[in-house]
């Protein structure tokens, strides 16, 4: 079953302060221009790093067999059951790190807002 969660306004306050680059070598974190992120099997956000225009609404869809969450730094946590999705609007430019609070070791991602 699929249920649309109303878009939530991203709290502008927090995430803006993050330093941009993560300093790691390697091109694996190359941002992908999309507003769709899937939680794929198993315990992964795909793509892990995305890039969107300010004002965009990003939708996460859970395709995994487990419940996950999307917790953007400085905002409330959103639980996403199997087959469900959550949408968050990013109005302010910045680099927003997020995590699944249930699997924070494995499931992290980044939204770069231009």
Q: Is 102 in the site for Cu ion (CB under 5 A)?
A: yes
- What's the closest the beta carbon of residue 112 comes to Cu ion, in angstroms? 21
Q: Which of residues 65-84 bind Cu ion (CB under 5 A)?
A: 68
Separation between Cα atoms, residue 79 and residue 56, nearest integer Å: 21
Q: Does 107 bind Cu ion (CB under 5 A)?
A: yes
Phi, then psi, of 51 in degrees rounded to 5: -130, 130
The answer to whether 99 contacts Cu ion (rule: CB under 5 A) is no
Taking the least distance from each CB to Cu ion, the nearer of 56 and 70 is 70
48 neighbors 26 (Cβ within 8 angstroms): no
* Count of residues engaged in binding Cu ion, rule: CB under 5 A: 5
Under 8 Å between Cβ of 33 and 50: yes
Residue 56, both tokens: 């965009």
Question: For residues 8-67, which are near Cu ion according to CB under 5 A?
Answer: none
Q: How far is the CB of 78 from Cu ion (least distance, A)?
A: 12
- Measured CA to CA, the distance from residue 85 to residue 31 in angstroms comes to 21
- Applying CB under 5 A, the residues found at the interface with Cu ion are 68, 100, 102-103, 107
């Amino acid at each position: 079953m699929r249920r649309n969660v109303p878009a939530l306004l991203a709290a502008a306050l927090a995430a803006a302060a993050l330093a941009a680059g993560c300093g790691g070598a390697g091109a694996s974190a190359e941002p992908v221009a999309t507003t769709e992120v899937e939680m794929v099997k198993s315990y992964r956000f795909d793509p892990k790093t995305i890039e969107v225009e300010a004002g965009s609404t990003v939708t996460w869809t859970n395709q995994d067999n487990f419940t996950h969450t999307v917790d953007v730094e400085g905002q409330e946590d959103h639980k996403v059951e199997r087959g469900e999705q959550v949408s968050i609007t990013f109005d302010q430019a910045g680099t927003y790190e997020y995590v699944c609070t249930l699997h924070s070791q494995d499931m992290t991602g980044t939204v770069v807002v231009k």
